[in-house]
């Protein structure tokens, strides 16, 4: 990538068109794809709502139906009621900004807004029906509500898969100019590189001491990023790289007046200005913006490990594990028979793992290796493919033929639902560590033990055995710091897709 050279600018101050990086031009049409994407969301949302309401009317009434008050003074066709419900539903989605550029393709917040808007609409309908004594058919509403909500969420999920695939091919990107100290700029650029599904691509940086000479650049995860000047050259650099967003990190070089002036200078250019607070892996309800003494302060709440949230997680674990064991019992029986018929030894393998607060417990798994496999670890250590303190082999000679299939699709982990019922594990949580791993933990990594280990977690849906030790720790700590029930449900959904694909397991 060619770096910025202020000497290449014309006398009018605008850069020569021949000096503009091709990648910056390709990434610089965010508003075009966002507008097209939002139009498609409008169409899909409208079709889903119409289909849900029409289907509810047909299921409840067939070809006809009436709505009447308790005094039978008024009689209306349910077709009119359905039309009003469709209009109100679509209006509610607009009011709750479910298609704003701030949330489209963002996942949890997008789904949350759809859920909240739909629940509040039907709650309002229930209140109005009670106040005005409208005898609305319960089955009609009870059918339209879940079908429409599920349809909206599924349609957004489908659109997310579309946008994720396009971003993987370098399309639907948001080009970013990062301003700040070199270390902070590198950290932010690395975070954007990890979050490829979010579509943020750094096309230039402005760092203190950067003079914008041709060839000046920094390298982040194998990508060369041009240095386009220092914090005073943001506007000129923006005209050169055609970024959609200016991200400021480590703002001490700018100061309060510098940030204010930068915001004013960027107004005519119609770009977004974002500020990275420098706190990594803290998100969701723990963050809130509160103005104090004229300053916009970000308040970071303490992680919630106790109280109502812990009780709700216990209840969720119990219900989910019970239902899962009932549904997968045929698979577990088949797996047990396959193990018993193809190799000698017990069906189950008990592995000591460290649970909440570092307390040991026997984690149950279907045996996927030969008997006494643990005694062979020392002789195989030279071929270790694991990261950090983990021991893994891509081609482990101890794994049986049946075990190889079970490990690929995580069938060997199904008995861990029994550990969940015994309150030793959770359905979602950090990866369950071995005693030798915990003994090697430093103070930071030990925070993984503040919550119960899980059958699945961020490590499971982000690469499984292919992850580096540092990335595994980062994901586990991110979960510990930010866990919520909504996040658990999303991780479970992603786990199903990761297990079916069989990626990263060996």
Give the β-pairing of 272-276 and 287-292.
unpaired
Helix, strand, coil percent content, the chain, rounded in steps of 5 = 55, 15, 30
Q: What is the DSSP letter of 134?
A: B
* pLDDT at res. 43: 95
Q: What is the C-alpha separation between 438 and 450, in angstroms, rounded? A: 13
Confidence of residue 267 (pLDDT cuts 50, 70, 90): confident
Residue range 44-87, pLDDT digits in tens:
999 999 999 999 988 887 765 444 433 343 445 778 888 999 99
Q: In the predicted model, what is the mean pLDDT of residues 225-236?
A: 87
**Domain residue spans of the chain:** 6-22+172-300, 30-168, 308-501
Of 3.40.640.10, 3.90.550.10, 3.10.20.90, 3.40.50.720, the CATH number of 6-22+172-300 is: 3.40.50.720
* pLDDT at res. 392: 62
Nearest 10 degrees: Cα torsion 337, 342, 344, 349: -60
Q: What is the C-alpha separation between 447 and 425, in angstroms, rounded? A: 16
Task: Report whether 51 contacts 151 (CB < 8 A).
Answer: yes
Q: What is the C-alpha separation between 246 and 466, in angstroms, rounded? A: 33
The candidate with the shortest Cα–Cα distance to 494, out of 428, 407, 405, is: 428
Which of the residue ranges 274-288, 311-325, 328-342 would you say has the lowest mean pLDDT? 274-288
Name the token pair of 120.
């509040």
Residues 6+ apart with CB under 8 A from 418: 321, 325, 364
Q: Look over the chain and give the mean of its residue pLDDT values, rounded to a whole number.
A: 79
* pLDDT at res. 365: 93
Q: What is the C-alpha separation between 404 and 396, in angstroms, rounded? A: 9
Residue whose token pair is 């982040």: 220
Residue range 299-334, pLDDT digits in tens:
776 666 666 677 888 999 999 999 999 999 999 999
- Using the predicted structure, report yes or no on whether residue 3 has a pLDDT greater than 50: no
Task: Report whether 226 contacts 21 (CB < 8 A).
Answer: yes
Confidence of residue 361 (pLDDT cuts 50, 70, 90): very high
Out of 116-130, 183-197, 377-391, give the one with best mean pLDDT.
116-130
Residue whose token pair is 């009621």: 81
The candidate with the shortest Cα–Cα distance to 23, out of 219, 281, 201, 231, is: 201
Q: What is the C-alpha separation between 466 and 16, in angstroms, rounded? A: 45
Residues 6+ apart with CB under 8 A from 11: none
């Amino acid at each position: 990538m060619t770096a910025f050279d202020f000497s290449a600018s014309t006398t009018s101050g605008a850069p020569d068109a021949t000096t503009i990086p091709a990648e910056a031009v390709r990434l610089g049409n965010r508003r075009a794809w966002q507008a097209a994407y939002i139009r498609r969301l409008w169409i899909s949302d409208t079709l889903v709502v119409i289909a849900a309401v029409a289907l509810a009317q047909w299921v409840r009434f067939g070809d006809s139906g009436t709505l009447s008050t308790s005094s039978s003074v008024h009689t209306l066709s349910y077709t009119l009621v359905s039309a009003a419900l469709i209009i109100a539903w679509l209006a509610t989605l607009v009011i709750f900004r479910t298609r704003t550029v701030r949330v489209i393709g963002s996942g949890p917040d997008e789904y949350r807004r759809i859920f909240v808007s739909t629940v509040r609409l039907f709650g309002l309908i229930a209140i109005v029906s009670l106040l005005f004594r409208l005898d609305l058919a319960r089955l009609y509403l009870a059918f339209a509500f879940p079908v429409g909500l599920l349809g909206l969420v599924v349609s957004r999920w489908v659109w997310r898969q579309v946008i994720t695939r396009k971003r993987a091919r370098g399309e639907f990107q948001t080009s970013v100019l990062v301003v700040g100290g070199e270390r902070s700029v590198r950290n932010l650029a690395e975070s954007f590189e990890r979050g490829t599904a979010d579509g943020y691509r750094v096309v230039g940086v402005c760092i203190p001491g950067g003079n914008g000479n041709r060839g000046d650049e920094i390298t982040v995860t194998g990508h060369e990023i041009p240095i386009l000047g220092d914090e005073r050259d943001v506007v000129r650099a923006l005209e050169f790289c055609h970024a959609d967003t200016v991200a400021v990190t480590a703002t001490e070089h700018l100061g309060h007046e510098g940030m204010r002036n930068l915001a004013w200078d960027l107004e005519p250019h119609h770009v977004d200005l974002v500020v990275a607070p420098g706190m990594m892996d803290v998100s969701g309800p723990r963050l809130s913006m509160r103005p104090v003494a004229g300053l916009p302060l970000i308040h970071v709440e303490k992680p919630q490990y106790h109280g109502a949230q812990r009780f709700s997680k216990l209840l969720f674990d119990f219900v989910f594990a019970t239902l899962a064991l009932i549904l997968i019992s045929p698979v577990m029986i088949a797996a047990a028979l396959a193990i018993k018929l193809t190799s000698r030894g017990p069906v189950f393998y008990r592995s000591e793992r460290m649970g909440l607060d570092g307390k040991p417990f026997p984690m149950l798994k279907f045996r996927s290796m030969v008997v006494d496999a643990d005694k062979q670890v020392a002789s195989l250590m030279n071929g270790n493919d694991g990261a950090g303190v983990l021991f893994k082999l891509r081609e482990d000679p101890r794994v049986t033929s049946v075990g190889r299939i079970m490990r690929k699709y995580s069938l060997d982990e199904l008995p861990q639902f029994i550990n969940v019922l015994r309150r030793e594990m959770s359905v979602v949580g950090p990866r369950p560590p071995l005693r030798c791993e915990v003994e090697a933990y430093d103070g930071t990594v030990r925070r993984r033990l503040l919550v119960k280990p899980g059958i699945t977690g961020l490590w499971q849906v982000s690469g499984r055995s292919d992850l580096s030790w540092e990335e595994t720790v980062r994901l586990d700590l991110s979960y510990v710091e930010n866990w919520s029930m909504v996040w658990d449900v999303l991780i479970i959904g992603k786990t199903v897709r990761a297990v079916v694909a069989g990626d990263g397991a060996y």
